[in-house]
A and B are shown apart, each in its own frame.
Chain A
Amino acid sequence: MQFFLEVLIGGLLAGVMYSLVALGFVLIYKASGVFNFAQGAMVFFAALTFVGLQEKFGLPFGVTLALSLAAMVVLGVLTERIVLRPLVNQPQITLFMATIGLTFFIEGLAQLIWGTEVRRLDLGIQDEPIEALMERFNILVSRFDVAAALVAGVLVAVLAVFFNKTRIGRALRAVADDHQAAMAVGIPLKQIWAIVWSVAGFVALVAGLLWGARNGVQFALTFVALKALPVLILGGFESILGAIVGGLIIGASEKLAEVYLGPMIGGGIEGWFAYIMALLFLLVRPEGLFGEKHIDRV
């Protein structure tokens, strides 16, 4: 039982890390109906920028964070101006293709500026078991994982309020539903998109820091985006809550499957189990757990 709990908790916390990446996708999808292929590259760019600035100038943590955030905002605004603005009212697939191109550009740009070697990122949080839990319940839970989960929790709460309660958030959702109608009521598309991409850049920064601290800042960071895909399919592309719940489910089931199903079929199923789940889920509920239903009037 203890072992089961340990695996479950470890899985759930790992899932939160997936959710963080998935959140970035959700933001942009909600506000522009575009699946942003470049989200993984943005995570990479953010983490690399942070580490690079830290190495180069050795400024305090807060200052470096602010500078990295500024870099992400600039990236977001430039993306709007150069990539999205000429494509207003084009089919979504066109915008999607544009983000594929953007991916390669951002990856290249990051490495051009900061180099290609693997770097260590230290956030000052130890990846060690929490002693109190270990003594009392004999369960190993990483301090780092708990910290990451807390960060994700706060982020989600802030975003949820932003989207549902503020004037800008409402405008973002309006733009996602109907570009033209949003323009007709006077919502300036350009500003809205710049805001969305900046917020997505901020989320990418948070995800990049946590993932970078765990695995090292390297090109492989771009692939964490692939792990976000099953999370999105499970949770629904438009739902912030879905990104979280989807992440938890994927994280937990992945670890549990590895431990309990793994031995039966020779192990190594952690790598692909999430995708199988997503595939099965698509058959049953294609819009995801919390995704917006496609509304059709008949």
Chain B
Amino acid sequence: MTASAAASPATSPQGEVLLAVNNIEVIYDHVILVLKGVSLALPRGRIVALLGGNGAGKTTTLKAVSNLLASERGEVTKGSIEFKGERIDRLNPSELVKRGVVQVMEGRHCFQHLTVEENLLTGAFTRSASRGEIKADLERVYAFFPRLKVRRASQSGYTSGGEQQMTAIGRALMARPTTILLDEPSMGLAPQVVEEIFEIVRDLNAREGVSFLLAEQNTMVALRYADYGYILENGRIVMDGDAESLRSNQDVKEFYLGLSSAGRKSFRDAKHYRRRKRWLA
């Protein structure tokens, strides 16, 4: 891809690859082509961001990995997905969680009528751990999210959006994953809370070595916390590179961060320019 070559000399992130998505195509309902050949790599212990606008295919990519597509009548029709070198595209979500890949879905999806603590405990469902071990893990999650400890006995439907996002991430942690697929954690949250959530993600990454594949619309924030980024447009990766280089890239600045050297351009100019650009790519 010409665009990615321009963005950075490296064409894939550095490090031992934990999760590899190779040229996958996803079709919904047998007719709607959503992903048109997406490839990406998540190295061990890194945070990789998947960026792009609404409907670009970020969520679909994550769901293809976690195998939640089937229940939405979606299907991976081409390509392969590998985790630690093994194909995982035919595994059901439960087996995948056992191997250490958990998705935190967009919109948090807490179990509303369960308490915060019960929500966390459901995360450990696939593990055959002893009571003591689970208890210790619960404390570990509470150490990362002290606010959850305070609200442990409240029904999670009555907790705030930020607390629900924390519950959702904490619940995933209870499965002791090596990889978390985190979908749009900033959605509907105040900027301050978004920072708080991302700080915790960075913390988890640094202290527990959890790798993150992070789908975000909020490009600015995501690129500050991620090591590497892919930009998805219309079901294709149009650009990728180190977070640093993406942040300083002229196109990214213009389209996703809304900045440009000549001041803010009008949306019409941008649209026109972008249309031309797509033909070139």
Instruction: Identify the A interface with B (CB < 8 A).
Output: 88-89, 167, 170-171, 173-174, 176-188, 238, 292, 295, 297
Indicate which residue in B94, B113, B155 contacts A186 across the interface (CB closer than 8 Å): B94
Q: In chain B between 53 and 103, which residues have their CB closer than 8 angstroms to a CB of chain A?
A: 66, 68, 71-72, 92-94, 96-98, 102-103
Q: In chain B between 167 and 209, which residues have their CB closer than 8 angstroms to a CB of chain A?
A: 171-172, 175
Q: Knowing A183-B93, A184-B93, A185-B171, say if A171 contacts B125 (CB, 8 Å).
A: yes
Contact between chains at A180 and B126 (CB < 8 Å): no
Contact between chains at A177 and B112 (CB < 8 Å): yes
CB distance from A294 to the nearest CB of B (A): 9
Q: Knowing A89-B71, A295-B158, say if A186 contacts B111 (CB, 8 Å).
A: no
Per-position 1/0 for B228-250, Cβ under 8 A of A: 00000000000000000000000
CA distance A184 to B109 in the complex (A): 10
Residues of B in contact, count (CB < 8 Å): 34
Contact between chains at B109 and A186 (CB < 8 Å): no
Indicate which residue in B71, B157, B175 contacts A183 across the interface (CB closer than 8 Å): B71
24 inter-chain pairs at a CB distance below 8 angstroms, sorted by A residue, are A88-B71, A167-B125, A170-B118, A170-B121, A173-B113, A174-B119, A177-B113, A178-B110, A179-B71, A181-B105, A181-B109, A183-B68, A183-B94, A184-B105, A185-B122, A185-B123, A185-B126, A186-B98, A186-B102, A187-B94, A187-B126, A188-B94, A295-B112, A295-B157
Residues of A within 8 A of B109 (CB): 178, 180-181, 184
Residues of B within 8 A of A182 (CB): 111, 122
Chain A to chain B: the 3 pairs with minimum beta-carbon distance, closest first: A186-B97, A295-B157, A181-B109
Indicate which residue in B92, B113, B155, B175 contacts A185 across the interface (CB closer than 8 Å): B175
CB distance from B234 to the nearest CB of A (A): 25
CA distance A295 to B114 in the complex (A): 12
Q: In chain B between 259 and 273, which residues have their CB closer than 8 angstroms to a CB of chain A?
A: none
Residues of B within 8 A of A176 (CB): 113
Indicate which residue in B114, B157, B175 contacts A173 across the interface (CB closer than 8 Å): B114
CA distance A179 to B122 in the complex (A): 13
In the assembled complex, B37 has its CB within 8 A of some CB on chain A: no
CB distance from A185 to the nearest CB of B (A): 5
CA distance A297 to B109 in the complex (A): 13
Tally of contacts, chain A with chain B, CB under 8 A: 85
CA distance A179 to B72 in the complex (A): 12
CA distance A170 to B122 in the complex (A): 7
Instruction: Identify the B interface with A (CB < 8 A).
Output: 66, 68, 71-72, 92-94, 96-98, 102-105, 109-114, 118-119, 121-123, 125-126, 155, 157-158, 161, 171-172, 175
CA distance A188 to B96 in the complex (A): 11
CB distance from B148 to the nearest CB of A (A): 16
Given A88-B71, A186-B97, A188-B92, 12 more A-B residue pairs with CB atoms under 8 Å apart are A170-B121, A177-B111, A178-B110, A180-B109, A181-B109, A184-B68, A184-B103, A185-B122, A185-B123, A185-B175, A292-B113, A295-B158
Q: Knowing A88-B71, A89-B72, say if A187 contacts B122 (CB, 8 Å).
A: yes
Residues of A within 8 A of B104 (CB): 184
CA distance A180 to B93 in the complex (A): 10
Nearest chain A residue, comparing its CB with the CB of B123: A185
Nearest chain B residue, comparing its CB with the CB of A89: B71
CB distance from B162 to the nearest CB of A (A): 12
Contact between chains at B125 and A185 (CB < 8 Å): yes
Contact between chains at B111 and A178 (CB < 8 Å): yes
Q: Knowing A173-B111, A177-B113, say if A186 contacts B126 (CB, 8 Å).
A: yes
Residues of B within 8 A of A188 (CB): 92, 94
Q: Knowing A173-B113, A186-B93, A186-B126, say if A180 contacts B68 (CB, 8 Å).
A: yes
Residues of A within 8 A of B66 (CB): 184
CB distance from A49 to the nearest CB of B (A): 33
Contact between chains at A295 and B155 (CB < 8 Å): yes
Q: Knowing A89-B71, A178-B109, A180-B109, say if A186 contacts B114 (CB, 8 Å).
A: no
